[in-house]
Amino acid sequence: MDNFDVVVIGAGPGGYVAAIRAAQLGLRTACVDAWRDARGKPALGGTCLNVGCIPSKALLDSSHHYHNLRHRLPAHGIEAGDIKLDLRKMLARKDKVVRTLTRGVAGLLRKHKVESITGHAALAGGGKIGVTPHGDGARRTLVARHIILATGSIPIRIPVAEVDGDRIVDNEGALAFSEVPRRLGIIGAGVIGLELGSVWARLGSEVTILETLDDFLPAADRRIAGEALKVLRRQGLDIRLGTRVTGARAHDAGVAVGYDDAEGSHEGEFDRLVVAVGRRANTEGLDPAAAGVELDDHGRIVVDAQCRTTADGIWAVGDAVAGPMLAHKASEEGVAVAERIAGHAAHVDHAVIPWVIYTHPEIAWVGQTATELDAAGVEHREGAFPFAASGRAQGSGETEGLVKVIADAATDHILGVHVLAANASELIAEAVVAMTFHASAEDIARTIHAHPTLAEAMHEAALAVDDRPIHI
């Protein structure tokens, strides 16, 4: 048996980061991961790096360039003539980005002397982990004083639309179409559905998104969500709310999809169908019960505020536990757990975790929405500033969207910031820092922002909280 101070199960953003931090703190660490790429080789980085965050952003970026070349650059006086799409090359670039980063993770583990072990891990109790390698290798038993479960999540399956990997796919399949579908159906108007829909719509697909909920992006600010819905529909995404899919049948020419809405029952025909109805905690094959690790009613690993499970010496982070399924949330929890194991103080403030949807414009927020504050009876003030009034946005032609700042009516402390903008994922960082240090709207209002920048919209929105914006 091999003995370690820490064994991390899972090498996604929560797992490999936890392993590196544990090794930095002098703990003998191993990281077990089962992921293999299309060639059957180990590929660290989990869902996010292999078939999630990274490849989707690579395709979003490539498709955005293609769309701009066809539709936006002529307004800048740039004519490109006959524009051709080489989808094979675009996908190859995406795959190269993934390979570069997975190899980078492997290099980071080697640098920090973390033993990387490929295989399926299962808990055995008493600090033991059984690892079954791919192929014919011998089963291995690891013993650890501490175990960190970072097993991530997997797509939710629905019986009315069973994924077959051909006509009906999940997010992984939707990142690898060999040709642009003429008609693409997507079940679910959440983050994954909107991002994948954006990719293929830019490349020429007629995209229809079927969403059960009547509200669009209910977790987002209502004004931001409303503006985003209008923008996305103008871009060609046919987003149908209040629509329940009743069945999907693949055939030689495509997929027939039945659905109900307020007007009755319908059937649509698509070349491909993407099932993007959310994700669930991945504990398959882990055998948590063997080690006394409890799961909740949703199949997530039960943890306390410090990420401790119900079993001594076993911790869990990321998508496998309750909370937002975000890579950066998993990473911060992984770091905090490693530091706690090493005897250090550690803290993750879940109230200031930023959310981002990488459509164009992007949607980002941190903190609470006005709806949540109204429900809680918290008096607040709001200030907003549209990018149509931004000099930098006008210069770039990216005028859609706005920044909204919400502050406590009594203390002026910032309670939430919501952004719809071309670079919302970058702009939200200022709000996260401000809220982490318990800043007020006045603090941002009195902070000098460079001109001309998109960040000035944050400044103006903070001024607007006190009814004194300058440029609108």
Q: How many Cα atoms within 13 Å fall on the side-chain side of residue 396? A: 18
Question: Do the strands 2-9 and 140-149 form a parallel or antiparallel pair, or are they unpaired?
Answer: parallel
Q: What is the pLDDT of residue 138?
A: 84
pLDDT at 80 (0 to 100)? 87
Compute the average pLDDT of residues 171-197. 98
| Number of residues assigned to the chain | 472
Known catalytic residue at 451 = yes
229-257 mean pLDDT: 97
Does the pLDDT value for residue 60 go beyond 90?
yes
Sheet holding 168-169, edge to edge: 168-169, 272-275, 183-187, 206-210, 238-240
Tokens coding 75: 């307004």
pLDDT of residue 1: 57
10 Å CB burial of residue 177 (0-12, 13-18, 19+) is buried
Q: Which residue has the higher pLDDT, 39 or 371?
A: 371
Using omega within 30 degrees of 0 as the cis cutoff, is the peptide bond preceding 181 cis? no
Give tens-digit pLDDT for 63-119.
999 999 999 999 999 998 899 999 999 999 999 999 999 999 999 999 999 999 999
Please answer whether residues 427 and 442 qualify as being in contact, where contact means their C-beta atoms are separated by less than 8 angstroms. no
Catalytic residue chosen out of the listed positions 360, 451, 459, 471? 451
DSSP string, 224-264: HHHHHHHHHHHTT-EEE-S-EEEEEEEETTEEEEEEEETTE
Spatial distance between the Cα atoms of 187 and 175, rounded to a whole number of angstroms? 16
427, 454 contact by CB (below 8 A): yes
Report pLDDT digits (tens) over 119-147.
Answer: 999 999 999 999 999 877 789 999 999 99
Residue type, 270: F
Tokens of 373: 């504050």
pLDDT of 21: 98
Find out whether 437 and 352 touch, Cβ atoms under 8 Å.
no
pLDDT per residue as tens digits for the range 419-467: 999 999 999 999 999 999 999 999 999 999 999 999 999 999 999 999 9
Q: Note the pLDDT of residue 256.
A: 98
Across the range 334-346, mean pLDDT stands at 97
pLDDT at position 38: 86
Which has more confidence, 81 or 302?
A: 302
What pLDDT does residue 137 have?
77
User: Mean pLDDT in the chain?
Assistant: 97
Q: What is the pLDDT of residue 168?
A: 98
Res 310 pLDDT > 60: yes
